[in-house]
Amino acid sequence: MKSFLSLALLLLAACGDRAGTATPDTTANTGTATQPNNAATPPQTPAQPLAQPATPDTANTATPAHDTTATPPLPNSQTFAAMVDGKQWSGTQVIASRVDSAIAVTAIGPDGTSLILNLGTRTSAGQLQFGTADSGQFATWINPQGASFSTKPAGSGTVRITQLGGKRVAGVFSFKATEQGGNGTVRIEKGTFDVMFGK
pLDDT bin (cut points 50, 70, 90) of residue 131 is confident
The 10s digit of each residue's pLDDT in 150-180 is 999 888 999 999 999 989 999 999 999 999 9
pTM of the shown model:
0.63
Parallel, antiparallel, or unpaired: how do β-strands 87-90 and 185-196 relate?
Answer: unpaired
pLDDT bin (cut points 50, 70, 90) of residue 64 is very low
DSSP conformation letters of the chain: -HHHHHHHHHHHHHHHHHHHSPPP-TTS--SPPPPP--PPPPPPPPPPPPPPPPPP--TTPPPPPP-TT--PPPGGG-EEEEEETTEEEE-SEEEEEEETTEEEEEEE-GGG-EEEEEEEE-SS-EEEEETSS-TTEEEEEE-TT--EEESTTT-EEEEEEEEE-SSEEEEEEEEEEEETTSS-EEEEEEEEEEEEBP-
Average pLDDT of the segment spanning 77-89: 96
Judged against a pLDDT cut of 50, whether residue 42 lies above it is answered with yes
Instruction: Supply the mean pLDDT for the chain.
Output: 78
